[in-house]
Structure 1
Amino acid sequence: MQVNASFRRYRTQLINFLWTVHKGAVTPDERELVEEARRDHHSVLAEAQMVASAAVLVELDGMTTALSRVYRRIMFLEEGNPDPDGSFNEIRTDFVQLWERWEGMRAVMRADLGLGSVAGESPAIGP
């Protein structure tokens, strides 16, 4: 449960920060909220890596990689040095893919616990 909540919180803070960047309203407090969620994510992930099954680890690693890419793209945009495809709108579409990946990750985690999947979810395939 902690890893699921941590991923969700980090993803939420990233989208909030993207909007803050878009508005030109970044403050040290806003940046700290993202960094706090990022640190929490890394800590919870480290714990999960010690107990998660191989199938769940594949999903966790893939989601972590995707979140890291989005984080980097947002930070480059905020610093005024965006990727060629790193506009606000292009990064915003990344969150649709993150949501889909998160649903797949959650389905794999539930299946690993013997709970089956949530209606409408299908497991993601690899990272």
Structure 2
Amino acid sequence: MLGTLLSALLTQRAAERSRQREQERAERAAARARDVEERRTCYVALNTASRQYLAALTDHMHALLRAEDPRAVRQRLTEARDLHRDVYAEAQMRLPDPVLALAGDATHALGGLYGRLRRLDDGVPHPDDSLDAAQGEIDALWERLRELRRGMRADLGAPRASSGR
């Protein structure tokens, strides 16, 4: 009789441990899924903000080429730059190091282009500042943003796209 009682108790304890391990596995899986979703959300915001910032820089360069009143494009550029700064600040806290390195390189290059265009706009260019040089930076930055996007997608485990565009 004691053996029957102990057998039932041991079976119950084993089943409870099994349920507890399964619950812990489910909680870890849910935490991983939340982490991936938070990184994906951060990646979407960073990709969008970076592309908008570069588009605003491109518009600013075109306004300088056409010698139009740049006030409206300056305002858009300021807003895009501020948004990118905020999104990048959050990304610095969330991104894994390999993706953060790509994002940092892109952000540094965007800032360099911003400085060049502002100097040209303000009429105080450095000797190597020109609209042709700015166009070259813009072209290089679009490729850099594609590299960043590929890095973010790889981190999320997304399949490789056949084209970077």
Normalising by the residue count of structure 1, what TM-score does the alignment of the two structures yield?
A: 0.89
Equivalent of 2:147 in 104, 107, 110 = 104
* Amino acid in structure 1 at the alignment position of 2:60: F
> How many Å apart are 1:119 and its aligned residue?
2.1
Q: Does 1:11 align with 2:54?
A: yes
> How many Å apart are 1:49 and its aligned residue?
1.3
Identity of aligned pairs, percent? 32
| Match of residue 124 from structure 1 | none
Query: Secondary structure, in 3 states, of the residue corresponding to 2:77?
Result: helix
Mapping of 1:24-43 within 5 angstroms? 24-43=67-86
Mapping of 1:53-68 within 5 angstroms? 53-68=96-111
| Match of residue 125 from structure 1 | none
After superposition, the CA RMSD in angstroms is 1.2
* 1: CA distance, partners of 2:162 / 2:122: 41
Residues 21, 78 of structure 1: 8 Å contact kept: yes
Query: Gapped runs of 5+ residues in structure 1?
Result: 122-127
Q: Residue 81 and residue 54 in structure 1: after superposition, are their counterparts in 2 closer, same or farther (change >3 A)?
A: same
Aligned residue pairs total 121
> How many Å apart are 1:86 and its aligned residue?
1.4
| Match of residue 83 from structure 1 | 126
Q: Highest CA radius of gyration, 1 or 2?
A: 2
* Amino acid in structure 2 at the alignment position of 1:21: L
> How many Å apart are 1:9 and its aligned residue?
0.3
* Amino acid in structure 1 at the alignment position of 2:97: A
**Residue-by-residue CA offset, 1:45-87 (whole Å, 9 max, x unaligned):** 1111111111110011000000000000000111112222211
